Amino acid sequence: MLETINLSKTFKEKKAVDEIDIYLDDGESVGLLGPNGAGKSTTISMISSLLKPTSGDVKLNGKSTIKDPSEIRKVLGVVPQEIALYEELSAYENLHFFGKIYKVKKGFLENRIQEVLDMVGLKDRQNELVKTFSGGMKRRVNIAAALLHHPKVLILDEPTVGIDPQSRNHILETVRKLNEDHGTTILYTSHYMEEVEQLCDRVYIMDHGKVVASGSKDELLSILSSEDTIQVQLSKSSDNLLEAIKAMKPVRRVDETSDGIRIISKKDSSILNNLVHAAEKEGIQITHFQLEVPSLEDVFLHLTGKSLRD
Amino acid sequence: MGSFLKKDLLVFWRDRKEVLLALFLPIVIIVVLNLAFSGLFDNDAESVNMNVGIVDENEHSTELEQFKLRLQEMDILEVEKEALINQASAIKPSELIVEFFNDPKLKEWIPYEKVSEAEAIKLVEEGDLDAIIKIPEGFTYDVLSSLLLEEDSSTPISILAAEQSMELNTLQNVVNDFIDTLNLQFALGSTVGADLEEPVLPQGGREVVEGVETFNISQYFTIAMSTLFALFIAQTVAMKTVTEKRERVFNRILLTNSNPLEYLMGKTLATFFLSMIQMLVTFAVTQLFLDVFPGKSLAFWVGVIVIIAAFALTVSGLSALFTSITLILNDSNAASGIFTMIVMSFGVLGGSFFPLQGLPVVFQKIGEWIPNGLTQTVLIKWIQLTSVQDLIVPIIILIVFFMACLVIAVTIFPRRGRV
Ligand SMILES: Nc1ncnc2c1ncn2[C@@H]1O[C@H](COP(=O)(O)OP(=O)(O)OP(=O)(O)O)[C@@H](O)[C@H]1O
Ligand SMILES: [Mg+2]
């Protein structure tokens, strides 16, 4: 098990990570979500021994990794947010170099390189220079390089940023296989909710350096279970009506959307009645009414006030 | 460490611009300089030729008498006077110079004729003479007072020529060296008188003459350019660290359990091999196409390789230092600026841009403490066939320089977590 205890990092005045406690059980697949600047990458840097925490601890099977990180380096594979490869070297040469310094045994290295290349689907292009690769291909080599030493825990920091859907699917599939077939523990950071929903058993949501919510998908959704999202289409728009709705007691927020308004309100049986009433009073007809099932995206919005992507 | 070395060599090799710059630019420059200067200087050692006129205005016997008279008037013991007069009579300074130029080896290179001043000037103007060595009036008197009474000499030998040239410099050096040796010999004491019965050819002067015969400008270019460009390699390899940080591979390296010093040693070794290859290629190519070192023995080339290897080691130490500085500074522009300044001042002070041999002694001395300057000096001496013993101290200095750089580099190399 890998866990952080009150892990904090302050850059000058800025608290980038603020006393977070997260854990990864063996074989689990966990998502780490958060808007830009939430502190995800900083957390990952501290877990992977690249960055010394200001305070707090990172423990691997109960043993602190801060003083002696050699153990965690052995079991950890990190796919950094930015592509970390020698542009001037071929995919194969990159993997060979990183395999060597990960101390993969000589006799196994050749096989292993071919294995990971196969996993990310780049076996037939291994001798081409990385700088000639597309963004998606670079991302895949970036992942392959983290897999060479058979890591028990794999941390991926936004591995699918800015790439084509095909590469993205390939990467997701690779990660899923690693988790399901090889029992690799996964910590997956992304700006794409559907990726996390698809891959992860559990999710942490970070904002402003803090974990603001955590749990399985259902647990997170239950945060919103006391609220309804109502999508309403009107015969015409009216500021008066908007104000009237905002003034209703259970309503938490009202947003104008492209084809009407969206209301987030506490669960309340009288809301529908009141809506119809208010519309009638303004001489407006409700042409369409829909009660929406909340998504994780809504949970995220609810917690951070920001959408996942800018 | 092997994998780091291999990676660094590969990365360097893939950067074609860098390879061209390191391997071909020095050769191109040497060829161009050779072409440019071949009209001005004759590169062929055998045909180095200077017609010199010696104008002797010195009146030896009169001046000797003057000197004796002066001694008589001096307030010293009779015995001392006697001794000094005996010594003075034995010394014939102007003849020594003429004798010196009579040496068959030197004559081959600098034939001379004795002429009057007026005649000499005419011959120079007509182009029949390249330079005039003028032994002025009062020279004997002056030399005797300087040597025996330790007074400052005021009437130096002058060398006149229509135009400044590399050869003229050499001639000046030959004469200066001769005078220095002369002074030294007298200063050495009692045997002087006996020795000088027969005009002695001072050893120091002779060495320089032999040097002139075997050291030419193409050789200088080859040595200067290859050592200068080797220094550039130290900078180039170290600056790859910036790329490695920018491309984040440095972080990936830190994620492994490899010792960060392996990273540093990889850079150091890579620089050693690259600068070694660069210098060897430069020497080999210029030798093949320009025959820069004609008719040299195998032993000569072994010596050259040893000196080059010692220098490559120094360059690699410098590269280690540069790498550490790059990591600490975190500002690639500042780092690059500092390295360029260091390399350029090494180039200037070490005589890569113009030969130190023509400069005042101070600069020569400074130059010999700059690794490339030292290497250059040693190589030039080696061309002039000094003994193997003469190589030992410079090589030790180069190795010490390497070790010092490496120790500093390792000491300031940032520990993990701070990077
Ligand atoms: N080396 C640093 N020095 C100063 N501030 C830093 C440093 N690294 C990160 N920060 C700050 O810490 C905060 C958290 O950054 P971090 O990169 O961890 O966010 P993130 O969640 O990974 O964001 P993103 O989704 O954009 O990758 C940001 O405000 C960032 O500006
Ligand atoms: Mg990040």
pLDDT greater than 50 at residue A263: yes
pLDDT greater than 60 at residue B202: no
State the closest ligand 1 atom to the C-alpha of A43, by its place in the atom list counted from 1.
18
Which ligand lies nearest the alpha carbon of A157?
2
Q: Note the pLDDT of residue B40.
A: 53
d(CA A56, CA A4): 7
What percentage of chain B carries pLDDT values higher than 70?
84
CA A253 to chain centre: 26
Contact A155, A76 (CB under 8 A): yes
Q: Note the pLDDT of residue B321.
A: 95
Please list every residue in chain A whose beta carbon sits closer than 8 Å to the beta carbon of residue B240: none
For the ranges A89-103, B137-151, B191-205, the maximum mean pLDDT occurs at A89-103
Closest residue CA from atom 10 of ligand 1: A16
Last residue of a domain, one of B128, B157, B188: B188
Q: Note the pLDDT of residue A7.
A: 95
**B104 CB-side CA count, 13 A:** 0
Interface residue B4 vs chain A (CB under 8 A): yes
Q: Note the pLDDT of residue A170.
A: 87
CA B351 to chain centre: 8
pLDDT band at residue B166, thresholds of 50, 70 and 90? low
Nearest CA-CA distance, residue A289 and chain B, Å: 51
Nearest CA-CA distance, residue B297 and chain A, Å: 42
Reported as a single tens digit per residue, the pLDDT across B215-255 is 678 888 889 999 999 999 999 999 988 888 888 888 899 89
Nearest CA-CA distance, residue B15 and chain A, Å: 7
Does the beta carbon of A233 lie inside 6 Å of ligand 1? Answer: no
**Same fold yes or no, A2-221 and A226-293:** no
Q: Are residues B331 and B279 in the same domain?
A: yes
Nearest CA-CA distance, residue B276 and chain A, Å: 23
pLDDT greater than 70 at residue B315: yes
Average of per-residue pLDDT across B47-60: 77
Q: Compute CA distances B303 → A257, B158, B219, B250, B281, whole Å.
A: 84, 39, 15, 39, 16
Domain range list for chain A:
2-221, 226-293
Closest residue CA from atom 8 of ligand 1: A42
Q: Are residues B217 and B363 in the same domain?
A: yes
- Flag whether B273 is in a domain: yes
pLDDT band at residue A254, thresholds of 50, 70 and 90? confident
Please list every residue in chain A whose beta carbon sits closer than 8 Å to the beta carbon of residue B262: 101
Interface residue B11 vs chain A (CB under 8 A): yes
Q: Are residues B15 and B53 in the same domain?
A: no
Q: Are residues B264 and B391 in the same domain?
A: yes
pLDDT greater than 90 at residue A99: yes
pLDDT greater than 50 at residue B418: no
pLDDT greater than 50 at residue B45: no
Q: Are residues B404 and B362 in the same domain?
A: yes
Give the Å distance between the CA of A5 and the centre of ligand 1.
20
**Beta strand segments in B256-362, E:** none
Reported as a single tens digit per residue, the pLDDT across A200-225 is 999 999 999 999 889 988 888 777 77
Give the Å distance between the CA of A39 and the centre of ligand 1.
5
Please list every residue in chain B whose beta carbon sits closer than 8 Å to the beta carbon of residue A80: 248, 251-252
pLDDT band at residue A305, thresholds of 50, 70 and 90? confident
Q: Are residues B222 and B283 in the same domain?
A: yes
Q: Are residues B79 and B126 in the same domain?
A: yes
d(CA B268, CA B316): 5
Structure tokens at A298: 């809504």
DSSP per position, A143-212: HHHHHTT--SEEEEESTTTT--HHHHHHHHHHHHHHHHHH--EEEEE-S-HHHHHHH-SEEEEEETTEEE
SS3 B133: strand
d(CA A57, CA A60): 10
Instruction: Give the nearest chain A residue to B263 (CA atoms).
Output: A101
Give the Å distance between the CA of A169 and the centre of ligand 1.
27
The more confident residue out of B150 and A119 is: A119
pLDDT band at residue A292, thresholds of 50, 70 and 90? confident
Q: Are residues B135 and B259 in the same domain?
A: no
Q: Note the pLDDT of residue B39.
A: 55
pLDDT greater than 80 at residue B57: yes
- Domain range for B20 is 2-41+211-412
Query: Of A8, A22, A41, A158, which is best to mutate to test ligand 1, by the most ligand atoms within 8 angstroms of its C-beta?
Result: A41
pLDDT band at residue B155, thresholds of 50, 70 and 90? low
Class of domain A2-221: alpha beta
- Flag whether B203 is in a domain: no
pLDDT greater than 60 at residue B403: yes
pLDDT greater than 60 at residue B98: yes
Domain count, chain B: 2
CATH pick for A226-293 out of 3.30.70.100, 3.40.50.720, 3.30.70.260, 3.90.100.10: 3.30.70.100
Average of per-residue pLDDT across A147-156: 94
- Flag whether B161 is in a domain: yes
Whether ipTM > 0.85 holds is no
d(CA B225, CA B347): 9
B196 CB contacts (<8 Å, ≥6 apart)? B90, B91
Instruction: Give the nearest chain A residue to B243 (CA atoms).
Output: A86
- Flag whether B202 is in a domain: no
Averaged pLDDT score across all residues of chain B: 80
Q: Are residues B267 and B283 in the same domain?
A: yes
Lowest-pLDDT choice from A278-287, A297-306, B6-15, B303-312: A297-306
- Flag whether B198 is in a domain: no
DSSP per position, chain A: -EEEEEEEEEETTEEEEEEE--EE-TT-EEEEE--TTSSHHHHHHHHTTSS--SEEEEEETTEESSS-THHHHHHEEEE-SS--S-TTSBHHHHHHHHHHHTT--HHHHHHHHHHHHHHTT-GGGTTSBGGGS-HHHHHHHHHHHHHTT--SEEEEESTTTT--HHHHHHHHHHHHHHHHHH--EEEEE-S-HHHHHHH-SEEEEEETTEEEEEE-HHHHHHHTTTEEEEEEEESS--HHHHHHHHHSTTEEEEEEETTEEEEEEE--TTHHHHHHHHHHHHT--EEEEEEEPP-HHHHHHHHHSS-S--
Q: Are residues B298 and B391 in the same domain?
A: yes
Reported as a single tens digit per residue, the pLDDT across A104-128 is 998 899 999 999 999 899 999 999 9
Return the residue matching tokens 């080859």.
Answer: B222
Q: Note the pLDDT of residue B160.
A: 73
Q: Are residues B223 and B319 in the same domain?
A: yes
What percentage of chain B carries pLDDT values higher than 90?
24
- Flag whether B98 is in a domain: yes
Q: Are residues B324 and B342 in the same domain?
A: yes
Specify which residues A14 forms β-bridges with. A11
- Flag whether B324 is in a domain: yes
Q: Note the pLDDT of residue B4.
A: 92
